[in-house]
Amino acid sequence: MRIVGILEQDGQVNVASLSDDGHTAQILASLEEFWSSPSGYLDGAGRGKPVPATDLQFVPPVLPGARVICIGLNYLKHVAEGTYRDAQLPEYPTLFARWTQSLSVDGAEVPVPSGEDGLDWEGEIVAWVGGTLVDATADEALEAVLGYSAFNDLTARRAQKLTSQWILGKNPDKSGPLGPMVPAAEVGDLRDGPQVTTKVNGELVQDGNTSEMVYTVGETLAHISRTFTLRPGDLLATGTPSGVGYAREPQWLLQPGDTVEVEVERIGKISNRIVGNEARQAAGHTRDAVVR
């Protein structure tokens, strides 16, 4: 089963289950209804009337008020390849945030922001929170995970490294392509080692395994829940394996015209094309015109 968001003509977002061949979808509920009882709606998937997927506009099934929390430096080989190679591994995960507005979907074109030499790829997995977590144990937190998606944490490295805080470089427009959600029961335990791979124009650039994770999903969600309440619809991006572009010699960043693909075993694949900053400017002018 794959869960997606669908943008309706009136602006409402519905949540739907996508058929295995991707040709049809079945509406489950509105976005707000779905996240009010996500497990219940998953149990009812497959009972609705199928509609052709070609007639639909897909969007992330993410609540506007959801928190998108990301783990930095969560694969040992990735720590060793970058700026932090000589630093001691911290006891607790390095966490940063994305805004929901930065998320996009499979097939979306991602613009390179002004002043950047390109975008860097970071193939990874997102865990979707399906229950409320307050002071949870690691086991309780893992039990509350509703599902997982393939994700690309596309990063503007210049902006990221201007300051000690990563927020700016981690939130370029459309820079968080998110694949359909696959229920946790179908994926199994990430500690069993699904493979995470990234390709640029067909060339393999990342090939990691989730068994290499330093901080597990359950432990990290439990850690977060001791400070603030996690609610259904919140997301945790679990970090990327080694092989990112900025750490290479010479450095390799995504340019307009490049295609980047992230594939996660048992979860799925997303593919996105990189475009120039003029696409972002044009979209901004369009939004301004609509507002006025």
Per the structure, how many domains does the chain have? 2
- Same domain membership, residue 125 and residue 45: no
Nearest to 194 by CA among 178, 177, 210, 216: 210
Each residue's pLDDT tens digit, 84-122: 565 677 889 999 999 999 999 999 999 999 999 999 999
CA angle centred on 58, ends 99 and 150, rounded to 5°: 60
Q: What is the CATH number of the domain that holds 230?
A: 3.90.850.10
Query: Cα separation of 212 and 16, whole Å?
Result: 33
Each residue's pLDDT tens digit, 78-87: 666 665 565 6
pLDDT of residue 288: 35
pLDDT of residue 7: 97
Domain boundary among 10, 38, 59: 59
- Same domain membership, residue 106 and residue 26: no
The range of the structural domain enclosing residue 284 comes to 68-291
Please state, for a pLDDT cut of 70, what percent of the chain lies above it.
Answer: 93
Per-residue pLDDT at 286 exceeds 60: no
- Same domain membership, residue 206 and residue 102: yes
Domain boundary among 13, 34, 59: 59
Each residue's pLDDT tens digit, 200-255: 999 999 999 999 999 999 999 999 999 999 999 999 999 999 999 999 999 999 99
- Same domain membership, residue 107 and residue 235: yes
pLDDT of residue 191: 85
Q: In this structure, what token pair is assigned to residue 149?
A: 């998606």
CA angle centred on 216, ends 210 and 217, rounded to 5°: 100
Per-residue pLDDT at 47 exceeds 90: no
Per-residue pLDDT at 285 exceeds 60: no
- Same domain membership, residue 139 and residue 19: no
pLDDT of residue 83: 58
pLDDT of residue 49: 79
